Amino acid sequence: MSKLNVAILASGRGSNFQAILNEIKAGRCNAEVKVLITDNPEAKAIDIAKQNNISFEIVERKNFEKRSEMDDKIKEILDSYKTELVVLAGYMRIIKGKLLLESYKNRIINIHPSLLPLFPGENAQKQAFNSGAKVSGLTIHFVDETLDGGPIIYQEKVDISDCKSAEETADKILKHEHKAYAKVIDLFSRGSYIIEDHKAVFIKKT
């Protein structure tokens, strides 16, 4: 079965990016990361790309007059790498470009550290910890024009009742993110899907 052609968008340390590469190397994720796109020239994710001989492209907001022009540039790069799935891994910008969103509709995914629709936006783990929730988790969803509101692909609960701080909560959820994201990318490589009731339903290839 051919490998899924993936592009990663990341702004920071890139631990999910690294975890996806680890799972690919271990043979548990049938994908190939062709390019990292980042808006942050200081992102640690760039080091990960370099260590793994993966191309990287820096697309900084300051180089574009309009926000949509930045997203148009990203779309151009994605096209040039023949990207099949765009994986947001700690990408700290909301995608607003209509061209990018429409061209890659239901082919851009994000991982969010809560059980959406609970705790959207920034500091989701802190929001969960401060709320006194005993259970939180993670959501992998399609990216659309809403904030963390696109159709849900996968959710996993994490017991956070033993966490003593927001940081501990984030660390515990992150460990689950690292396995879940690659698992979902692998699903994309192995089957097609339909969206029903705002949720992705996978149909395995026979």
* Shortest Å, Cβ 90 to ligand GRF: 3
Q: From edge to edge, which strands make up the β-sheet containing 55-58?
A: 55-58, 31-38, 4-9, 85-88, 108-112, 135-142, 152-159, 199-204, 191-196
- What torsion do the CA atoms of 135, 141, 143, 147 make, to the nearest 10 degrees? -20
Task: With contacts defined by CB under 6 A, name the span among 34-42, 96-104, 106-114, 185-193 that binds ligand GRF.
Answer: 106-114
The residue number with the shortest CB distance to ligand GRF is: 90
Known active-site residue 198 = no
Q: Is 16 among the residues that bind ligand GRF (CB under 6 A)?
A: yes
Tokens at 105, concatenated: 């509709």
Q: Is 150 among the residues that bind ligand GRF (CB under 6 A)?
A: no
Q: Is 189 among the residues that bind ligand GRF (CB under 6 A)?
A: no
> Looking at 112, 141, 178, 198, which residue is catalytic?
112
**Cα(74)–Cα(57) distance, rounded to whole angstroms?**
9
Residue found by looking up tokens 């890139």 in the block: 14
Contacts for 63 with CB less than 8 Å, ≥ 6 apart: 70
Q: Is 112 among the residues that bind ligand GRF (CB under 6 A)?
A: yes
Q: Is 75 among the residues that bind ligand GRF (CB under 6 A)?
A: no
Q: Is 89 among the residues that bind ligand GRF (CB under 6 A)?
A: yes
Strand pairing category for 108-112 and 85-88: parallel
Q: Is 48 among the residues that bind ligand GRF (CB under 6 A)?
A: no
Identify which of residues 97 and 113 has a Cβ nearer to ligand GRF in the complex. 113
For the annotated catalytic residues, the residue numbers are: 112
Binding residues for ligand GRF, rule: CB under 6 A, are 10, 12-16, 89-90, 111-113, 174, 177
